[in-house]
Structure 1
Amino acid sequence: MTVLGRLTDRILGLPVAPAHDTPPPPGVARDLRVPMPDGVTLLADVHRPRGTGPLPAVLIRTPYGKGQALVRLFAGVLVRRGFQVVVQDVRGVGGSGGEFRAFHDEREDGLATLAWLRAQPWCDGRVATVGASYLGFTQWAVAPYADPPLEAMGLGITASEFVSSFYPGGALALHNTLVWSSLMGVRAGRRGEEGARDGRRPLHDRRVRRAMRHLPVGEADTAAIGRPEPFLREVTANAERIAFWEATDHSAQVAATTAPASMVTGWWDPFLRGQLRDFEALQAAGRRARITIGPWGHDAKALRAVLADQVSWLDAHLGGDTAALRRAPVRLHLQGSGRWLDFESWPPPGTEPTPLHLSHGLTWDAPSGTEPVAFTYDPLDLTPGVGGPLLSPGRAGQRDNGRIEARGDVAVLTGAPLDRPLDLIGPVSATIHVRTSTGHGDLFVRLCDVDPRGVSRNVTDGIVRISSPGLVRAEVEMHPTGYRFHRGHRLRVMLAGGAFPRFARNHGTGEPAARAVASKRVRFEVHRDAGHPSSLLLPVWNG
């Protein structure tokens, strides 16, 4: 509806005409009003290809503004291929009404939008969804509950639940949480300015980096952007109350989702573990699903792969071009080899979980008679972390760990040079017998690749929160990997009490994360004898 039309209705005292009274013409129909059950109205743009008659619709729901350049680019690509694209600002974003509460309202609003969309005369009733990151989560908030089901889903670098990414192993993921909440806080301060150019500034702003040291961490938002930000406050306040997020966790319903799903993720993406769990659940339920895992993180390389993947998936399920369906369900890049590999399932067949024991160094044989290794973590002299799965692309991925490994507050164990290449493909975990002096601490475990020059680069890692006195058997879920260690390289395991600022400091006191200020030094003793063996379980692939 035009501005003149809305003004005329207002002068005549008429209610706003529903958007579907007039089908959108070829091109873009902006700010269509989509009513929610609670009376809030969300706005959507319809990008329509040339042609007449009702068409299937591709729905994209975004918290970043429907005028964002990346969204416009994506919509343009799809329209040029004959797809009708509906891009909606989620609640509280851009011109959409209500308050943005990250992750909380996407199920109800998404289902209401789906019902509205199917009722439009310019939609033939078939709806698919695409998008990456949060835009992928909005799909999972709808797909398990949609009746009739979606035609297809394109899921890039995302998961059906983000809670495990907020608190991996029980620790607070400070870097990613503060970077994203600062981005959203800046955007909220510019509401109505869709796609504001400086909305990305917090990702590179030194003020945000400095704010990661702010105490208490529950107020780091004011240090970062000068005002409270709701998402940061919720994540920090509920670090000890995970049940708060229960309604935002759709993972239990993944297996019931019948819509064909195509996924793209990367070995350095923060949501890799959740996305692989989603894929396994779909495969176990016999659903049509495929996944691509590339040598990238949460970055532009991933987005390029996402776009290509989702175009081919839509071509197959809305356009009738089924050529893309003939590829293997799992396609992954084996880092260090330059090879892409195809498999029928995840984890790949031919992978053997193999324990790598902590001993005087590292050994494939069971240890015996080895004294504990000890180190002390100081919350006022934080053990730094480098690389890994971060939302800041320039800081993510593999990095030289030499500076950290030389510190006195870490333990480093190194194996013998390999006499042949070693390929790891699959989930990685660690079982560590550890005692902390205060009964509170975070145990960080990192596996590195040491080349013949002595440069140590991270391959995978994980963290677990310890909140119990005495000797504890700590189970650490580490990041999945697909990686080749070359002949002559050595495996190295680093143990530490943290990796800042990727994870918030553990104060060693047990005080809730959001308001903790006081701290205690924590001495860690890692046992590695025959009675208390500590090891990493590595997915050795013998393909």
Structure 2
Amino acid sequence: MNLNSHLVQRMLRLPPPLTRDLTVERDLRVPMRDGAVLLADRWTPATGGDGLPTALIRVPYGRSGMTAAPMVRPLAERGFQVLIQSTRGTFGSDGPFDPLRREREDGLDTLDWVIEQPWFGESMILVGASYSGFTQWAVADAAPPQVKAMIPGVSESALTLDFLHGDAFSLETPFVWGVQVAGQERRFGMLRQMLGGKLGGERKKVQRALRTLPLNQADTAAIGRHYDYIQNILVHDADAPFWRDLDHRHRVADITVPVSTVGGWYDIFLPGQLRDYRALRNARLTVGPWAHISMGVGHTYTAEALDFGLALARGEQPAERAPVRLFVMGEDKWRDFPSWPPPGYEPQRFHLQPDGALGTEAPADSSPDGYRYDPADPTPAVGGVRMAFGEKAGRVDNTALEARPDVLTYTTAALDGDVEIIGDVSAEIFFRSSLPFADVFVRLCDVDADGRSTNVCDGLLSLTGADDTRAARVRMWPTAYRFKRGHRIRVQISSGAFPRYNRNPGTGEPRATATTLRTADQQVFHDPRHPSAVLLPIRQVTSEKSGQ
């Protein structure tokens, strides 16, 4: 066990622990209001564990092995007793697993149970990433006073819903996650999925399944049967009443528990996480250069649990720091700010220009540019916001993607000084398709002095009535990025990023049952009547010492 302790310490770059000698009390039975019983394990130092602040982690992925140890052991060795609970319907806990839907009731019942235990002291914190972060958002507004802090990593209060917008259906993440949890309790299920990403077998099977038509048969192609969660994401859009019970956005403004929230610039949940942060009254925010599955996320939210959470649980004040700490990519430095979005960054339009140019001046009269989009050979997702095991996420070389005939690029001249953008990014692209149904994908890139194009942020919008010229207003991922002197700013335009986003068949058929794929001829306009542009929250950098 000490070997595991050393490995986790090194992996998460933590200081030495107070103890490596831990005791685990397994399969504690936690009763719920409807008679169901959820199982939990309690990790404590071998001596002196009773009465320590409690860290509560509620997770659907199991309470032991490689899933739990990096979450639990660092906290139990450094000042907490830790209760890790399997959510309803997973790893021995009663009931069917209906993802996300019961976490408020079950979470509140668990909090009530914890504070009645003889080993409980006077305080607890809520901690965990992704789904475990969602379990915190689901209860935080009604948490008892013994809860002194919450530390959600790469998570937000509505979780699934940001993938299911009718005008931007993000297929890959909810589908791959559904496949993962459907098979995770098989023997070596989680290990097989992770190694499948490395070795290719499971990954290729899932990637083939994502191309299945109709999509409501894709779960059968991947796991041999229908899975309710996957069927539901295909049928119910984000605003459907079906999802109401797992949408906790309206609760965030009522949270009084101090919050330290940790995110990544290439995380799947970043826009919702920043929305939640802005609604909070007593919170701090850390965003790093990470995707959803990143060692940096684990290191940072564990450090926040030990620095921010443990201090508050002991009745102390955490070390003073700015409310917002951001890793500014390109500059590759951590910087502190008073708010999100930070002051001093004003939106500026960079217009698409003829001959593939990009600039702040208004576009001249010009003919539109065109390309053909074939959903049978969809424009691929390359890097960026990805969650799937085995898929490279974050910043990658876009050279091969930009060489495709279905991708347009618009690029500035070499910059004569550093240009910094921090905040929300969007685009307004005047667009027309030969079909009434089409997608517009916009990506912002940094082109270095050697001509290598690296993605910064992106977004997609699905249009109805696309056979009439119209402005596609695309919400892109927020970012913090410095384009260095001599680099160039580039905008990509295409009609897909598959399988991150579902391919648009061009027919208007429901996504669950569509079977016909139609090729479309697309046009992008850039003239005085159609001033297509990307809107960047910009600050000109006058010297290397400039900053906040």
TM-score (norm 1): 0.89
- Give the conservation status (yes or no) of the 8 Å contact 2:164–2:237: yes
- For 2:469, which of 466, 471, 488 is the aligned residue? 471
- For 1:35, which of 31, 34, 46 is the aligned residue? 31
Which residue is 2:44 aligned to?
A: 48
**Deviates most, 198-207 or 37-46:** 198-207
Please give the secondary structure, in 2, of the residue aligned with 1:322.
coil
Which residue is 1:462 aligned to?
A: 459
Which residue is 1:20 aligned to?
A: none
Q: Distance in 2 between matches of 1:169 and 1:422?
A: 34
Which residue is 1:14 aligned to?
A: none
Q: Distance in 1 between matches of 2:492 and 2:233?
A: 28
Which residue is 1:9 aligned to?
A: none
Q: Distance in 1 between matches of 2:262 and 2:470?
A: 37
Please give the secondary structure, in 2, of the residue aligned with 1:152.
strand
Please give the secondary structure, in 1, of the residue aligned with 2:499.
coil
Residue 245 of structure 1 deviates from its aligned partner by 1.7
Task: Indicate how the Cα distance of structure 1 residues 91 and 53 shifts in structure 2: closer, same or farther if over 3 A, else same.
Answer: closer
Q: Distance in 2 between matches of 1:202 and 1:112?
A: 37
- Is 1:335 aligned to 2:333, yes or no? no
Residue 175 of structure 1 deviates from its aligned partner by 2.2
Residue 196 of structure 1 deviates from its aligned partner by 5.4
Q: Distance in 1 between matches of 2:238 and 2:267?
A: 25
- For 1:399, which of 396, 401, 420 is the aligned residue? 396
Residue 66 of structure 1 deviates from its aligned partner by 1.1
- Give the conservation status (yes or no) of the 8 Å contact 1:401–1:456: yes
Residue 255 of structure 1 deviates from its aligned partner by 1.2
1:517-538 per-residue CA deviation (whole Å, 9 max, x = no partner) reads 1122222222222222211110
Which residue is 1:79 aligned to?
A: 76
Query: Amino acid of the residue matched to residue 366 of structure 1?
Result: A
Which residue is 1:172 aligned to?
A: 169
Task: Indicate how the Cα distance of structure 1 residues 225 and 201 shifts in structure 2: closer, same or farther if over 3 A, else same.
Answer: farther
Residue 94 of structure 1 deviates from its aligned partner by 0.4
- Is 1:386 aligned to 2:382, yes or no? yes
Task: Indicate how the Cα distance of structure 1 residues 83 and 240 shifts in structure 2: closer, same or farther if over 3 A, else same.
Answer: closer
- Give the conservation status (yes or no) of the 8 Å contact 1:183–1:202: no
Query: Amino acid of the residue matched to residue 483 of structure 1?
Result: Y
Q: Distance in 1 between matches of 2:416 and 2:214?
A: 49
- Is 1:363 aligned to 2:359, yes or no? yes
- Is 1:139 aligned to 2:136, yes or no? yes
- Give the conservation status (yes or no) of the 8 Å contact 2:103–2:135: yes
Which residue is 1:446 aligned to?
A: 443
Identity rate of aligned residues, in percent? 45
- Give the conservation status (yes or no) of the 8 Å contact 2:42–2:84: yes
- Is 1:303 aligned to 2:301, yes or no? no
- Is 1:274 aligned to 2:272, yes or no? yes
- Give the conservation status (yes or no) of the 8 Å contact 2:370–2:521: yes
Which residue is 2:368 aligned to?
A: 372
Which residue is 1:536 aligned to?
A: 534
**Deviates most, 313-322 or 344-353:** 313-322
- For 1:259, which of 253, 257, 260 is the aligned residue? 257
- For 1:319, which of 300, 310, 314 is the aligned residue? 314
Please give the secondary structure, in 2, of the residue aligned with 1:252.
helix
Query: Amino acid of the residue matched to residue 366 of structure 2?
Result: T
Which residue is 1:128 aligned to?
A: 125
Q: Distance in 2 between matches of 1:73 and 1:463?
A: 35
Please give the secondary structure, in 2, of the residue aligned with 1:357.
strand
Query: Amino acid of the residue matched to residue 435 of structure 1?
Result: R
Task: Indicate how the Cα distance of structure 1 residues 52 and 487 shifts in structure 2: closer, same or farther if over 3 A, else same.
Answer: closer
Q: Distance in 1 between matches of 2:407 and 2:75?
A: 50
Q: Distance in 2 between matches of 1:336 and 1:83?
A: 38
- Give the conservation status (yes or no) of the 8 Å contact 2:443–2:491: yes
Q: Distance in 2 between matches of 1:398 and 1:88?
A: 35
Which residue is 1:230 aligned to?
A: 228
Residue 392 of structure 1 deviates from its aligned partner by 3.5
Query: Amino acid of the residue matched to residue 218 of structure 2?
Result: A
Q: Distance in 2 between matches of 1:167 and 1:52?
A: 44
Which ranges in structure 1 are unaligned for 5 or more consecutive residues?
A: 1-25
- Give the conservation status (yes or no) of the 8 Å contact 2:162–2:238: no
TM-score (norm 2): 0.88
Q: Distance in 2 between matches of 1:88 and 1:202?
A: 27
- For 1:152, which of 117, 127, 149 is the aligned residue? 149
Q: Distance in 1 between matches of 2:49 and 2:71?
A: 22
Residue 70 of structure 1 deviates from its aligned partner by 3.9
Residue 274 of structure 1 deviates from its aligned partner by 1.1
1:467-488 per-residue CA deviation (whole Å, 9 max, x = no partner) reads 2252322211101111111212
Residue 142 of structure 1 deviates from its aligned partner by 0.9
Which residue is 2:17 aligned to?
A: none
**Deviates most, 416-425 or 122-131:** 122-131
Query: Amino acid of the residue matched to residue 490 of structure 2?
Result: R
Task: Indicate how the Cα distance of structure 1 residues 355 and 59 shifts in structure 2: closer, same or farther if over 3 A, else same.
Answer: same
- For 1:114, which of 111, 122, 135 is the aligned residue? 111
Please give the secondary structure, in 2, of the residue aligned with 1:151.
strand
Q: Distance in 1 between matches of 2:193 and 2:305?
A: 26
Residue 56 of structure 1 deviates from its aligned partner by 3.6
- For 1:422, which of 419, 422, 440 is the aligned residue? 419
Query: Amino acid of the residue matched to residue 289 of structure 2?
Result: P
Q: Distance in 2 between matches of 1:197 and 1:396?
A: 20
Q: How many residues align?
A: 510
Which residue is 1:509 aligned to?
A: 507
1:138-161 per-residue CA deviation (whole Å, 9 max, x = no partner) reads 111111233447311011111111
Which residue is 2:489 aligned to?
A: 491
1:333-374 per-residue CA deviation (whole Å, 9 max, x = no partner) reads 111213211011111122111111112121101223232222
**Deviates most, 289-298 or 227-236:** 227-236
Task: Indicate how the Cα distance of structure 1 residues 207 and 53 shifts in structure 2: closer, same or farther if over 3 A, else same.
Answer: closer
**Deviates most, 57-66 or 236-245:** 236-245
Which residue is 2:9 aligned to?
A: none
Query: Amino acid of the residue matched to residue 260 of structure 1?
Result: P
Please give the secondary structure, in 2, of the residue aligned with 1:58.
strand
Q: Distance in 2 between matches of 1:455 and 1:72?
A: 39
Please give the secondary structure, in 2, of the residue aligned with 1:123.
coil
Q: Distance in 1 between matches of 2:238 and 2:42?
A: 42
Q: Distance in 2 between matches of 1:366 and 1:164?
A: 37
- Give the conservation status (yes or no) of the 8 Å contact 1:240–1:512: no
Query: Amino acid of the residue matched to residue 113 of structure 2?
Result: W
1:290-319 per-residue CA deviation (whole Å, 9 max, x = no partner) reads 111111212122212221122112222113
1:74-113 per-residue CA deviation (whole Å, 9 max, x = no partner) reads 3222222231211100011001010111111111111111
Q: Distance in 2 between matches of 1:149 and 1:44?
A: 19
- Give the conservation status (yes or no) of the 8 Å contact 1:179–1:203: no
